[in-house]
Amino acid sequence: MINRPSFVSAILEWRPTWLLARLALTSAYLLGGIVKLTDWQGAVAEQAHFGMSPPAFWAGLTIALELIGPVLILTGRLVWLGAGMLGVFTLLAAFTANAFWAMPAGQDRFMATNAFFEHIGLIGGFIAIAMIAQRREANA
């Protein structure tokens, strides 16, 4: 048995922790989807900025992914699908928006490198959430 502080065990065993962890992981996507939905022209302009064509199609797809993925994860229905959607989306976004390897050395490259690996960390979080959900379903 692992010897961990009792307060850590209490937090991990507290029923709302599972929901709060999923909300924390998906909050940026929910917010991004809502902001884009309420600012359609800005969402289209963002896609055009990254060279996505046609930008309106990609804006609509981005909004759908940023809203549907978190809803699946938060409701506990098809968590694997929501996590997979957001994981693939995040990987594609990392390569599209943070191509640090194509930048000259300097502050912009440093920031893009950090952002790229932060995206990789999020992908790990989606994998972990899918794995935990699968185990929870198997133990239910």
- Summarised one tens digit per residue, pLDDT across range 2-55 is 788 999 999 999 999 999 999 999 999 999 999 999 999 999 999 999 999 999
Question: Does the global pTM surpass 0.75?
Answer: yes
CA torsion 97→25→127→100, rounded to 10°? 20
Q: What is the pLDDT of residue 107?
A: 96
CA distance 61 to 57: 6
CB neighbour class for 107 (10 Å; exposed up to 12, middle 13-18, buried from 19): exposed
Bond into 54 cis (ω within 30): yes
Q: What is the CA radius of gyration of the chain?
A: 18
